[in-house]
Amino acid sequence: MGAAPTVLHLNTEPGWRGGEAQTLYLARGLQRRGCRNIIVAPPGSALLERATAAGVATISIPMRGEFDLRAARAIADVVRGEHVGLLHYHTAHAVGLGSLSTLFFARRPAVAARRLSFPLRSRLLGRFKYTWRVDRIIAVSAAIGRQLVARGIASDRIAVVHSGIETERFARGDRARFRDSIAARLPSGPGTVLVGTVGALAAHKGIDLFLEAAVLVGREMPAARFVIVGRGPDEERLRRLADRLGLAQRVLFAGFRDDMPDVFAGLDVFALSSLSGEGSPAVLKEAMAAGVPVAATALDGVEEIVEDARHGLLTPPGDAPALARAVILLGSDEGLRSRLTSDARRRVAEFTVDRMVEGTMAVYRSLGVGS
């Protein structure tokens, strides 16, 4: 993409979640292919810090919502001053704020990412937001693409590009290092089966379901222990729930961790208990790349990654007994684990960062940007 102009990546999130990781993966991948990138994000955001450390150009702009005129004018100044040729909006608020900024400069092509499977809140306003001064929408799953069409957005405006992961990095985790790091907080013995989940501690992630399943798993597998990796608004409520369920000595809230390859390597079973909202969950792909058997709720975006009984075990959303049965089966059947993880590793090779970058570049080229 050597002839490509500068791409401005707009991300309005202060924290670090999957969308921010994908933003940085994309910018780095484009940069390796000769494309100049600028990441614009709020001051002090985790994305700015990590992008700067990775050698990607960054600009911080205070952002007070998607109707912030001052921020919109500041973005317009960057577009003009840095000769930006394409804008890529990586969050829902970025779509509104970025589109507002285009009132202050001559139009450039614009691409919006849609990562979550929640339906647009309003058919009319949602359609307007994602089509007014937006030329293409990149949906991270076909299910999201179908939702957008159902909201009245023309299918030719939508391209499906699954999120990508660094498969080789997640295949090199250190099992002992993670287990040693949590040993003092989650006592266990040599026969321990460690079951984990990873994600924001928010209602749609179904951590309640994970805890309810943990009770059932523990009845049949007394050596089972459970770890929850992530932060979020529901953390205190979930801690209280774990106590009420009698799990205080068997479950660890491990918080946010940067050593995710080691985390996955340390698990015996990975469980994704989400109830909704998953687009193309990276944590599921990361677990598969690490060789961890997966039990997951059968959401649309999940089913595009995992075929039931081939790459993992899928269960109905909201069904704690079914999730528990899947975890028990995976934890107790070594032959099943071996077969599923072998096929899962082959499957996840289709969801690399390189494929995500190439798919995104194809969208850019469809707009006449790049070569």
pLDDT in tens, 216-258: 999 999 999 999 999 999 999 999 999 999 999 999 999 999 9
Same-domain status, 27 and 140:
yes
Cα–Cα distance between 227 and 80 in angstroms, integer? 48
What global pTM score does this model have?
A: 0.93
Query: Do residues 307 and 361 both lie within one domain?
Result: no
Q: What is the mean pLDDT of residues 175-183?
A: 96
Cα distance between residue 148 and residue 142, in whole Å: 10
Residues 6+ away with beta carbon under 8 Å from 154: none
Tell me the residue length of the chain.
Answer: 371
Q: Is 358 in the same domain as 340?
A: no
Sign for the CA dihedral angle at 17, 200, 188, 265 comes to negative
212 C-beta neighbours (distance < 10 Å), count: 21
C-beta separation of 101 from 133 below 8 A: no
Question: 28 and 143: one domain?
Answer: yes
Whether residue 107 is contained in a domain is answered as yes
Residues contacting 289, CB < 8 A, separation 6+: 165, 167, 170, 171, 264, 345, 348
Assess whether 185 and 56 both reside in one domain.
no
CB atoms within 10 A of CB 44: 10
pLDDT in tens, 53-91: 999 999 999 999 999 999 999 999 999 999 999 999 999
- Structural domain tally of the chain? 2
Gap between the Cα atoms of 18 and 10, Å rounded: 15
Q: Is residue 238 in some structural domain?
A: yes
- Mean pLDDT (the chain) is 95
Instruction: Write down the pLDDT at residue 2.
Output: 45
Residue 1 lies in a domain: no
Pair (188, 116) in one structural domain: no
Q: Is the pLDDT of residue 124 over 90?
A: no
pLDDT for the residue numbered 4: 61
3-class secondary-structure state, position 359: helix
Burial grade of 83 (CB within 10 A; 0-12, 13-18, 19 or more): exposed
From residue 237, how far is each of 179, 232, 251 by CA, in Å?
26, 10, 14
With beta carbons less than 8 A apart as the criterion, state whether 275 and 204 touch: yes
Is residue 249, in this structure, part of any structural domain at all? yes
In a domain, 334, yes or no: yes
pLDDT of 313 reads 98
Q: Which two tokens stand for residue 73?
A: 């004018």
Amino acid at 9: H
**147 and 38, same domain (yes or no):** yes
**Would you state the structure tokens that stand for residue 307, as one six-digit string?**
């075929």
pLDDT at 3 over 80: no
Q: Is residue 51 part of a domain?
A: yes
CA atoms within 13 A on the CB side of 110: 25
301 and 207 in a single domain? The answer is yes
Do 327 and 139 touch, CB atoms closer than 8 A?
A: no
Whether residues 93 and 201 fall in one domain: no
- The pLDDT, as a whole number, for residue 371 is 66
Residue 194: which CATH number?
3.40.50.2000
Domain assignment present for 291: yes
- 262-286 pLDDT per residue, tens: 999 999 999 999 999 899 999 999 9
For residue 177, pLDDT over 80 is answered with yes
> Given a cut of 60, is residue 303 above it in pLDDT?
yes
Residue 41 and residue 190 in one domain: no
19 and 155 together in one domain: yes
Please write the tens of the pLDDT for every residue from 132-166: 999 999 999 999 999 999 999 999 999 999 999 99
In a domain? residue 371 = no
Do 155 and 276 belong to one domain? no
Name the 3-class secondary structure at 67.
coil
Q: Is pLDDT above 50 for 6?
A: yes
**pLDDT at 1 (0 to 100):** 46
In this model, does residue 181 exceed pLDDT 70? Answer: yes
The pLDDT of residue 56 is 98
Task: Give me the domain span that covers residue 294.
Answer: 167-348
